[in-house]
Amino acid sequence: MWFQDESRIGQQGSLTRVWHEKGKRPRIIRQQQFEYAYIFGAVCLRTGTTAALVMPSVNKEAMLLHLRQISKETPEGRHAVVVMDGAGWHQDVSELKNISIFV
C-alpha cells in the first residue's frame, strides 16, 4: 500500500517595506512574478520505499510519470494500491498492470 500526494512550493518577491527617514517614502522595486515547482511524493508503508518527482507543472502527464515511477518501484509479482486524494489530474492507470488507485 502506497500513500501519494503532491504539493506546490515556490518563491514570491520580498516585502516592499523598508526602514527610512521619517516623513520620506523611498522607492523600491517589488518582484511581481511567481516561480513554482511541484513535488510529487509517495511512500510504501510495508517496505518504506519512496518515489518522488519535482515537476514544473501539475497535470495528468506529470501524474502518470509519477505513477510509472511507483510501478517500477513495486517488486515483481506484487500489486500496489496507491491511496491519493481526489484531484482532477488523478487518472485511469489501466496501462499499469501492477497498480490500483484508491481515492
Task: Provide mean pLDDT across the span 24-48.
Answer: 86
3-class DSSP state of 101: strand
Q: List, for residues 64-79, the tens digit of each pLDDT value.
A: 999 999 999 999 999 9
What confidence tens digit (pLDDT) does each residue in 17-29 have?
677 888 887 877 7
CB 54 within 8 A of CB 10: no
Cα–Cα distance between 93 and 103 in angstroms, integer? 13
Write the DSSP string, 82-96.
Answer: EE----TT----TT-
**Residue with the larger pLDDT of the pair 7 and 89:** 7
For the sheet with 2-12, list strands across it.
Answer: 50-55, 34-44, 2-12, 80-83, 99-102
Q: From CA 33, how far away is CA 7, in angstroms rounded?
A: 19
**pTM of this structure:** 0.78
Strand pairing report for 50-55 and 80-83: unpaired
- Separation CA 38–CA 13 (nearest Å): 18
DSSP state, 3?
E
